[in-house]
Amino acid sequence: MPIHSIPADIFLPIGGVELSTLPQQLVDGLLLGFIYALIALGYTMVYGVLKLINFAHGEVFMIGAYCALFTSWALGYIPNNTLGAGQWWMLIVMLVASMVGCGLLGMTIERFAYRPLRNQPRIASLITAIGLSLLLQYGGQIFLPLNQNIDSKINPAAGAFTIALGGGKSVDTATLKHTLEEKQAAFEEYLKRTKADPFNLDADGKKIRSEAQAAERDLKNAADTGKGTTLVIPYGKVIAMIATIFLMMGLTYLVMYTKRGRAMRAVSHDFDAASLMGINVNSIVTFTFLLGSVMAGAGAMMVATFYAGAKIDTFFGMVFGVKAFVAAVLGGIGNIPGAVLGGLLMGLTEGLVSWLGFTAYKDAVAFVVLIVVLLLRPGGLLGSAKVEKV
Amino acid sequence: MIKNVRIAWKPALAAVALAFAFGCSGGDTKTAEGDKPKGETTTQPSGTTTAARPEPTGEGVTATGDTIKIGVVGSLTGDQKPWGDDSIEGAKMALEEFNAAGGVNGKKVELIVGDSASKAEQAKSASEKLLSQGVIGIIGEVASGNTIQIAKAAFSKAVPVIGIGATRTDLTDEGTHVVRVCYTDAFQGPVMATFAYEELGKRKVGIVTDNKAPYSQGLSKSFADKFKALGGEVVGEVFYETGQTDFTGPINEIKGKNPDVLFLSGYFPEVGPMAQAIRGAGIGKDVPLLGGDGWDSPQLLVSGGDAIIDSFFCNHYNNKETRPEVTAFLTKWKAKHGGKDPGTTMAALGYDAASLTFDALKRAKNLNSKDLIEALNDTEGFKGVSGVINLKGKGGNPDKQALVVQVKPAAEGFQVFKKAYSPSDIK
């Protein structure tokens, strides 16, 4: 970042702590943290089973966003459409499409890119993962439409929870509002009478207009002093959070209380011993990739749909992928609750950093946190540090 | 072993420290130099930075062979594809006309296209490739960050660079070989600041800058300077980066400052989604959004949805203008593109940049890139689609008018003209 673009007042928030934006930043950070957690699960599960960092996971996430986009197009929400608000079943169709699309992609990647290399040195798989990631990012540019958005109208729950947290002074805005209405009416009447262009006025018109504008400013200033701290949480982000929690509960059930889950844990514990005990290791590995990719697909659909205007291109998964990977390492890679904890912590840290006024550095701070955690606890927060023999 | 390592440490540290110190001081001087002409041009928007422009020292490239080779660089891929497509298409139209009219004394011009892929480093390699193919002029680019790289690559060969939509003010300080057919940010920024302060009656601006785009940084600065000079207050500036998808952090931060107008100086791929995020965060429509010519693409309507409607931005010309150059250009364009108007103004600017280059080829003493530079800088009264272009004594920056337009739904024509500013309107 060029030195001259650092704002002069960058250190101000530390001295005169501005508390009013803290709740909003933390809540937004937490909501984003759930998405990171969802993606981090994919990294951590694959690592747990194969000891492989699937760097193509972010690109699976990207494809998930495209699946959601194409489904929304198929439902009629093409660019510049004139449709009204969508239906709930549309969101579910999009979610299922993303999950199925990503699940298939994840299994395909495992079958054709990683399985042939499973008995080769681990570095070969790692390089393949990076190669796949680049292939999907740049190869995707040839046939995928770039710079697309899912029309936010498809989300039937437009609007947001607005929660007043207090702190505002009581200001009488009624008189100011009245003055504004009067002045605006006068200006409109003037425009009607003279048929003047509102942006090319003579001295008289300018005077009337500036009175109306002054009244508008007064009202806004009064309202700003009066409103205090408010928390705005779009419904969509809340839906995303609830859906994420349900998905995680489902995953926990699958891993902890089903036969397949037990097999998965066994493979993760000792690959060779599990295979000697009659577990079909190949099918378990495929299943792990399927699960992780499905989670990424769900996350992608939710980001693309509920984060208003999120831009979809082939690099969509890059930032999210890297952040989720950091989250997985932070929580202890290979550890499922750790991934969730790591994701939430990442989100909160970002919120906190944004609140301090360092939005431009929030990505860097995420990595600083990672370095600090790894220095103090090399295995991650919930992971166990094992000495590996090389 | 250990001893050796220890000894090696100190000089290494010193070297690092030295390099750092030099790097920093170098950076500082550059900033100071870069700021100075910007400051001057803010007070004098016509731009009088001629003295600061270094002259390319190279021999220049002479056109050999049957055709005169001219390069054109644009983003055929990546984020800014709408601009690349339009500007190159415009240049090609100018080429057809020029060759049909006989070229330069019967010698035809050949246009070689290079793809900048919306990236500065790609723009550099594309222009280097064009230079190795023996072009005597390079038309391009639309984005300032890419044009700077082209200008640097062309300097040693003394090949002229004709900027299409690159508005960053200090761009023409790269050398006398850089000229452009568009206005500069030293004009565009103050135009929007004046519009916000005088016409919209706003006093507290929040600025949102793309930290990765030199264009956005320069424009934010020129806007802020003028807005403060008028008596307004800059309540805060927040940053994001090209390609970012989540703007929650910076938007919450700027929301806490209670601005009554927001200036988004970035490019359309991020501005559209950001507008939605701004409205989603609860900043109401009583806080209008303003921007520069980086907004100019109908894609803004798709990615911005209802949130972007009624915002204002600054542009070069308008399809609804009735000047003969505009109507003639649009008629030709529509005939080639199935009756559709060009999506962005970069089509007209690409056409102007190419026509100006070809016109200069005719006026140049010889078919040599150095003579072409001279001819370009001597341009007087060239009637382009986007307005009259004068470059003589202007330091590569024509003083053209800027139009403030309002974003409306596609059915109402995307950009609706609101107010025109000529350089003399901005004091």
pLDDT single digits (tens) B81-92 = 889 999 999 999
Query: Residues of A with CB below 8 A from B256's CB?
Result: 18, 20-21, 24
Which residue, among A3, A5, A146, would best test binding to B if mutated, counting the most B CBs under 10 Å from its CB?
A5
Contact at CB, A213 and B201, closer than 8 angstroms: yes
- SS3 sequence of B193-243: HHHHHHHCCCCEEEEEEECCCHHHHHHHHHHHHHHHHHCCEEEEEEEECCC
B261-264: strand order across its sheet: B233-240, B204-210, B261-264, B289-291, B312-315, B402-407, B415-421
Query: Residues of B with CB below 8 A from A362's CB?
Result: 249
Contact at CB, B277 and A308, closer than 8 angstroms: yes
Residue B314 and residue B402 in contact, taking contact as beta carbons nearer than 8 Å: yes
Query: Residues of A with CB below 8 A from B277's CB?
Result: 307-309
The confidence score (pLDDT) of residue A387 equals 53
Q: Which of B248, B275, B299 sits opposite A32 (nearest CB)?
A: B248
The confidence score (pLDDT) of residue A12 equals 43
Q: Which of B217, B252, B419 sits opposite A25 (nearest CB)?
A: B252
pLDDT band at residue B80 using 50, 70 and 90 as cut-offs: confident
The confidence score (pLDDT) of residue A168 equals 67
3-state DSSP assignment of residue B317: coil
The confidence score (pLDDT) of residue B133 equals 92
Q: Which of B28, B243, B276 sits opposite A308 (nearest CB)?
A: B276
Structure tokens at A139: 């190869």
Shortest distance between the Cα of A283 and any Cα of chain B, in A, equals 36
Structure tokens at A27: 């809540």
Q: Which of B28, B280, B303 sits opposite A149 (nearest CB)?
A: B303
Q: What angle do CA B258, B264, B265 make, to 5 degrees?
A: 140
Structure tokens at A311: 């831009």
Residue A39 has pLDDT above 90, yes or no: yes
Scan for tokens 């415009």, then name that residue. Answer: B90
**Which position has the higher pLDDT, A13 or A345?**
A345
Contact at CB, B245 and A355, closer than 8 angstroms: no
Q: Is B170 on the interface with A (CB under 8 A)?
A: no
Residue B11 has pLDDT above 80, yes or no: no
Measured CA to CA, the distance from residue B263 to residue B210 in angstroms comes to 11
Interface of B with A in 253-272 (CB under 8 A): 253, 255-256, 258, 260, 269-270, 272
Q: What angle do CA A308, A312, A313 make, to 5 degrees?
A: 160
| Share of residues in chain B with pLDDT > 70 (%) | 88
Measured CA to CA, the distance from residue B241 to residue B22 in angstroms comes to 27
Contact at CB, A199 and B280, closer than 8 angstroms: no
Among B12-16, B340-344, B357-361, name the one with the lowest average pLDDT. B12-16
Question: What per-residue string of b and e applies to B340-372 under the rule 16 or more CB within 10 Å gives b?
Answer: eebbbbbbbbbbbbbbbbbbbbeebeebbbbbb
Residue B56 has pLDDT above 60, yes or no: yes
- Taking every pair of C-alpha atoms in chain A, what is the biggest distance, in angstroms? 92
Query: Residues of B with CB below 8 A from A356's CB?
Result: none
Measured CA to CA, the distance from residue A209 to residue B3 in angstroms comes to 79
The confidence score (pLDDT) of residue A247 equals 93
Q: What is the pLDDT of residues A157-193, one digit of tens each?
A: 888 888 887 766 777 778 888 888 888 888 888 888 8
- Across B96-124, average pLDDT: 91
Domain ranges of chain A: 3-161+233-376, 168-227
Let me know how long chain B is.
Answer: 427
The set of residues, in sequence order, having a beta carbon less than 8 Å from that of B158 and lying 6+ positions away, is B56, B57, B58, B59, B60, B61, B177, B369, B370, B373
Q: Which of A3, A217, A316 sits opposite B245 (nearest CB)?
A: A316
Measured CA to CA, the distance from residue B11 to residue A389 in angstroms comes to 36
CB pairs under 8 A between A and B: 149
Domain ranges of chain B: 68-183+322-396, 186-315+405-425
Residue of A nearest to B35 (CA): A4
Query: Residues of A with CB below 8 A from B243's CB?
Result: 313, 315, 319
Helix (H) or strand (E) segment spanning residue B138: strand B138-139
ipTM of the complex: 0.82
Query: Residues of B with CB below 8 A from A315's CB?
Result: 243
Helix (H) or strand (E) segment spanning residue A235: helix A235-257
The confidence score (pLDDT) of residue B10 equals 41
Contact at CB, A313 and B79, closer than 8 angstroms: yes
Q: Which of A74-83, A92-101, B42-51 has the highest mean pLDDT?
A: A92-101
The answer to whether the Cα torsion of A90, A91, A95, A101 is positive or negative is positive
Residue B75 has pLDDT above 60, yes or no: yes
Amino acid of residue A271: F
Measured CA to CA, the distance from residue B17 to residue B11 in angstroms comes to 10
- Across A68-80, average pLDDT: 91
Residue B40 has pLDDT above 50, yes or no: no
Measured CA to CA, the distance from residue B196 to residue B203 in angstroms comes to 8
Residue B32 has pLDDT above 60, yes or no: no
Measured CA to CA, the distance from residue B373 to residue B361 in angstroms comes to 9
Contact at CB, A311 and B269, closer than 8 angstroms: yes
Residue B208, phi-psi category: left (phi > 0), alpha (psi -120 to 50), beta (remainder):
beta
Residue B47 has pLDDT above 70, yes or no: no
Pick from A155, A304, A300: nearest CA to A234: A155
- Across A322-328, average pLDDT: 92
The confidence score (pLDDT) of residue B46 equals 43
The answer to whether the Cα torsion of B351, B354, B359, B362 is positive or negative is negative
Measured CA to CA, the distance from residue B224 to residue B234 in angstroms comes to 7
Residue B111 and residue B95 in contact, taking contact as beta carbons nearer than 8 Å: yes
Residue B215 and residue A317 in contact, taking contact as beta carbons nearer than 8 Å: no
- Across A305-319, average pLDDT: 86
Q: What is the pLDDT of residues B242-271, one digit of tens each?
A: 878 888 888 988 988 889 999 999 999 899
The set of residues, in sequence order, having a beta carbon less than 8 Å from that of A360 and lying 6+ positions away, is A1, B211, B238, B239, B240
Q: Is A310 on the interface with B (CB under 8 A)?
A: yes
Residue A3 has pLDDT above 50, yes or no: no
Among A26-35, A291-300, B39-48, B186-195, name the one with the lowest average pLDDT. B39-48
Q: Is B404 on the interface with A (CB under 8 A)?
A: yes
CATH of domain B186-315+405-425: 3.40.50.2300
Q: Is A362 on the interface with B (CB under 8 A)?
A: yes
Measured CA to CA, the distance from residue B415 to residue A350 in angstroms comes to 37
The confidence score (pLDDT) of residue B38 equals 36
pTM of the shown model: 0.82
Q: Is B7 on the interface with A (CB under 8 A)?
A: no
Residue A8 has pLDDT above 60, yes or no: no
At the second CATH level, the architecture of A3-161+233-376 is Orthogonal Bundle (1.10)
Residue B400 has pLDDT above 70, yes or no: yes
CATH 3.30.200.20 matches B68-183+322-396 = no
**Which position has the higher pLDDT, A133 or B6?**
A133
The confidence score (pLDDT) of residue A6 equals 42
Measured CA to CA, the distance from residue B420 to residue B315 in angstroms comes to 10
- Across A19-40, average pLDDT: 90
pLDDT band at residue A386 using 50, 70 and 90 as cut-offs: low
Residue B2 has pLDDT above 80, yes or no: no
Among A168-182, B276-290, B335-349, name the one with the lowest average pLDDT. A168-182
Query: Residues of A with CB below 8 A from B274's CB?
Result: 309
Q: How far is CA A193 from CA A196, A197, A200, A204, B418, in A?
A: 8, 11, 15, 13, 20
The confidence score (pLDDT) of residue A377 equals 87
The confidence score (pLDDT) of residue B314 equals 94
Give me the half-sphere count of Cα atoms (radius 13 Å) on the Cβ side of residue B357.
38
Contact at CB, B274 and A350, closer than 8 angstroms: no
- Across B84-112, average pLDDT: 92
The set of residues, in sequence order, having a beta carbon less than 8 Å from that of A385 and lying 6+ positions away, is A377, A378, A379
Residue B130 has pLDDT above 70, yes or no: yes
Question: What per-residue string of b and e applies to B303-329 under the rule 16 or more CB within 10 Å gives b?
Answer: bbbebbbebbbbbbbbbebeeebbeeb
Query: Residues of A with CB below 8 A from B203's CB?
Result: 217
pLDDT band at residue A293 using 50, 70 and 90 as cut-offs: very high
Contact at CB, B245 and A307, closer than 8 angstroms: yes
The set of residues, in sequence order, having a beta carbon less than 8 Å from that of B171 and lying 6+ positions away, is B144, B147, B148, B151, B163, B178, B180, B184
Shortest distance between the Cα of B217 and any Cα of chain A, in A, equals 7
